[in-house]
Amino acid sequence: MAVVSLKDLTKIYDRGHAPAADKVSLEIGDGEFMVLLGPSGCGKTTTLRMVAGLESITAGELSIDGAVMNAIPAKDRDIAMVFQSYALYPHMSVKNNLAFGLRRRSVSRSEIERRVVSVAETLELTPFLQRKPHALSGGQRQRVALGRAIVRDPKVFLFDEPLSNLDAALRVSTRSEIASLHRRLGATMIYVTHDQVEAMTLGTRICIMNGGRVMQVGSPLDVYHQPVNTFVAGFLGNPPMNLLPATVTDAPGGCTLAIGETRLEVPGTRMPAHSPGADLTFGIRPENVRLGEAPGAGFATLAGTVTQIEALGAETIITAGLPNVAAPLTARVAGDGGPGVGDRVGFAVDLGAAHVFGPDGRAVTQS
Amino acid sequence: MAALRKSILLLLLTGYTMFAAGPFVWVAMMSLRTTTEIHHDHFGFPDPAHWNKYPDAWFNSNYATYFANSTQIVVAAVILVTLIGAMAAHCLARYRFRLNRVIYFVLFSTIIFPPQITIISLFQILVQYGLYNSKIGLMLVYVAIQLPLTIYILESFFARIPSDLFDAARMDGYSDWEIFWKVAFPIALPAITTTVILNFILLWNEFLFAVVLITEEANRTLPLGIQRFIGDTQEDIGMIATGLMIAIIPVIVIYAFFSEKLIQGMTAGAVK
């Protein structure tokens, strides 16, 4: 059992500078796969390194299974980590890389041998046990790095962008390997990535970070469908959510928004009434925007001029400029047909899937 | 066209090899000739070859003692320089601490002083500490003069070792001391070998500090032994050449043995 608890965890590298991690609070349950997701410099790796014991904690409290770990050195936390660069010892064979951590922990030779052989078999590394890391492919190196963590049988696994050095195909297969590893071991895992596909497919829960702070924590679909602010809305999803500046009109009900020259009546379930003139942000995911006029109630039409077409085969991403609106509108439509660049077309927006954000960027949508 | 280019390259390489190896071959030939023969014909072939000059120099001209002294002093100095240099370089490259760069700069700046500047003060220090005219004294001086360059070469190599490796070893449960010996040192072996060879060759041939700090016959090193054949009025060129060859042989053996590692160390990091 391993419950990892972060309470207001803060890291300040240089006095006078902004904290790299700012009061990060998070409870990671036993056997949970928590993904820390965010752009470069958001503090996710710093947070992970504080959990690992590789960075000192400026303020806050880290505990594992109720025991405070702030002053406990990395080696005594019973944590294993897989690094972005694999961090394999280049002068040692695969076998010695796997056994290196166990040797320090006074594990008997026969037990080390048994565990190394077992892990090598699981990860299909047996033919490479005598090879040095430089004689392995990227995928094999990544498996050795995984094996080195597994062989220690730790309470908690930490992953620091382990797939970012792999090519696209290998990334997919290694991703599913990590997922099956989590299912098999049932261990608590904390995984850092800036790749939202990894986060969505691997995480039991996702913690989205920005500027050293936690923006939102929740299951992947919850975070996707109910973003708490414009950052999360704009970060998750590819293409990201359309975020269009909107103003509340003086129409009765307080739920009618003016976006450029168009007026949209947002259902009360998606937006509480606001006083006229309030500046808000209207959010809609590209998959909730269709080509053509609104098919009926619950939809609104936004007309614009197509500026970019990205035909991906199974779907097409259409970007259009709306008159008097600073942000473009992106639609994801099935198939590869559709309008050409420069065409003026209508887009049907599903208002039932709309998100509305206040002037401070926080969601006002009622879920 | 390709053949012509190859021929020109071959010609250039042959010319350079003759230029570089010429003096060595000349000394090797003179080492098998007597001084009289050399005076008669400077560039003549050793005919007949006086192989007996080698045992003569070894047994009758005290070369065995000089050789043993050189070996003791240089090997001890190289071991110390390597260990201290590697540890210092590792610390300077790996740890962030106050005055890190200042210490590095001060250490490295000592390279700019020519040995003539420091030799009088070194002489005084050694006399005061009772180390003048002793093998330990000379050995310590050698350690001191070679440390800056050793740290400079190794620091840049250690700095290129990814910090993730050290973090991984920390997670594996190893202390900083163990990480140095089990991770950093083995990885830096190509660079360490380079410094071992460079230091060995430089110290084996070192003359200035040895001639000032050693006067006792029993503590003389090989370069001083060779000097003994240079008198006030005449020089025994033949025996000097034989002594030079005896002195050069260990250097050649070490270079031949480690040359691959040397090149590896020199070019490490140059190509990904």
Fold of A4-234: Rossmann fold (3.40.50)
Decide which of 1.10.3720.10, 3.40.50.300, 3.40.50.980, 2.40.50.140 is the CATH code for A235-357: 2.40.50.140
Q: Is the pLDDT of residue A153 over 60?
A: yes
Q: Given B178, B182, B187, which is nearest A90 (Cβ)?
A: B187
CA distance A60 to A68: 10
Residue A306 backbone dihedrals phi, psi, to 5 degrees:
-65, 130
Q: How many residues does chain A have?
A: 367
pLDDT by residue (tens digit) across A276-287?
888 999 999 999
Q: Rounded mean pLDDT of chain B?
A: 89
Sheet holding A67-68, edge to edge: A21-28, A4-11, A59-64, A67-68
- DSSP for A263-322? EEE--TTT-----TT-EEEEEE-GGGEEESS--STTEEEEEEEEEEEEE-SSEEEEEEEP
Structure tokens, A308: 């970019």
CA distance B105 to B84: 17
Residue B92 backbone dihedrals phi, psi, to 5 degrees:
-65, -35
| pLDDT given for residue B2 in this prediction | 84
Cα A220 vs. chain centroid, distance in angstroms? Answer: 8
Residue B159 backbone dihedrals phi, psi, to 5 degrees:
-65, -25
- The ranges assigned to domains in chain B are 61-267
Band the pLDDT of B261: cuts 50, 70, 90.
low
Q: What angle do CA A161, B166, A13 make, to 5 degrees?
A: 70
| pLDDT given for residue A89 in this prediction | 94
Q: Is the pLDDT of residue A312 over 50?
A: yes
Mean per-residue pLDDT, A290-313: 89
Q: Cβ of A85 and B162 within 8 Å?
A: yes
Work out the percent of chain A whose per-residue pLDDT is above 90: 70
Q: Is the pLDDT of residue A29 over 80?
A: yes
Q: Which residue of A has its CA nearest to B169?
A: A101
Q: Cβ of B187 and A85 within 8 Å?
A: no
CA distance B199 to A249: 83
Closest-CA residue to A162 (of A179, A176, A145): A145
Q: Rounded mean pLDDT of chain A?
A: 91
Domain with CATH 2.40.50.140 in chain A: 235-357
| pLDDT given for residue B57 in this prediction | 85
Q: Is the pLDDT of residue A366 over 80?
A: no
Structure tokens, A222: 């919850």
Q: Cβ of A80 and B171 within 8 Å?
A: yes
User: Which residue do the tokens 């770990």 mark?
Assistant: A69
Which alpha helices (DSSP H) does chain B contain, by range? 2-30, 35-40, 53-60, 63-94, 100-109, 115-128, 135-159, 163-171, 176-179, 185-187, 189-204, 208-213, 222-227, 237-267
Q: Is the pLDDT of residue B270 over 70?
A: no
DSSP-derived secondary structure letter, A186: -
CA distance A356 to A346: 21
| pLDDT given for residue B118 in this prediction | 87
Band the pLDDT of B164: cuts 50, 70, 90.
very high
pLDDT by residue (tens digit) across B104-141?
999 888 888 888 888 999 999 999 999 999 999 999 99
What are the chain B neighbours of A84 within 8 Å (beta carbons)? 164
| pLDDT given for residue B52 in this prediction | 92
CA distance A233 to A210: 12
A261 within 8 A of A324, measured Cβ to Cβ? yes
CA distance B204 to B197: 10
| pLDDT given for residue A37 in this prediction | 96
What is the rounded (10 degree) CA torsion for A193, A199, A201, A203? 110
Q: Is the pLDDT of residue A195 over 60?
A: yes
Q: Which residue of A has its CA nearest to B188?
A: A91
What are the chain B neighbours of A79 within 8 Å (beta carbons)? 171
| pLDDT given for residue B272 in this prediction | 32
CATH 3.20.20.150 fits B61-267, yes or no: no
pLDDT by residue (tens digit) across A232-290?
999 999 899 999 999 998 777 778 899 988 888 888 888 888 888 889 999 999 999 99
Who has greater pLDDT, A336 or B107? B107
Q: Tell whether omega for the bond before A339 is within 30 degrees of 0, i.e. cis.
A: no
Mean per-residue pLDDT, B233-248: 86
Mean per-residue pLDDT, A91-119: 93
B139 within 8 A of B77, measured Cβ to Cβ? yes
Band the pLDDT of B271: cuts 50, 70, 90.
very low
A331 within 8 A of A290, measured Cβ to Cβ? yes
Q: What angle do CA B139, B140, B141 make, to 5 degrees?
A: 90
Domain with CATH 3.40.50.300 in chain A: 4-234
Q: What is the 3-state secondary structure (H, E, C) of A113-179?
A: HHHHHHHHHHCCCHHHCCCCHHHCCHHHHHHHHHHHHHCCCCCEEEEECCCCCCCHHHHHHHHHHHH
Distance from the A330 Cα atom to the nearest Cα atom in chain B, whole angstroms: 41
B217 and chain A in contact, CB less than 8 A: no
Least-confidence region, from A187-201, B126-140, B239-253: B239-253
| pLDDT given for residue A254 in this prediction | 72
Distance from the A215 Cα atom to the nearest Cα atom in chain B, whole angstroms: 28
Amino acid type, A308: Q
In this prediction the pTM is 0.82
Residue A9 backbone dihedrals phi, psi, to 5 degrees:
-65, 125
CA distance B227 to B236: 10
Who has greater pLDDT, B254 or A350? A350
Band the pLDDT of A292: cuts 50, 70, 90.
confident
Band the pLDDT of B269: cuts 50, 70, 90.
very low
- DSSP for B123-172? HHHHHHTT-TTSHHHHHHHHHHHHHHHHHHHHHHHHHTS-HHHHHHHHHT
Work out the percent of chain B whose per-residue pLDDT is above 70: 95
CA distance A221 to A205: 9
Mean per-residue pLDDT, B61-77: 92
Q: Cβ of A104 and B164 within 8 Å?
A: no
Band the pLDDT of B265: cuts 50, 70, 90.
low
Closest-CA residue to A45 (of A71, A83, A80, A2): A83
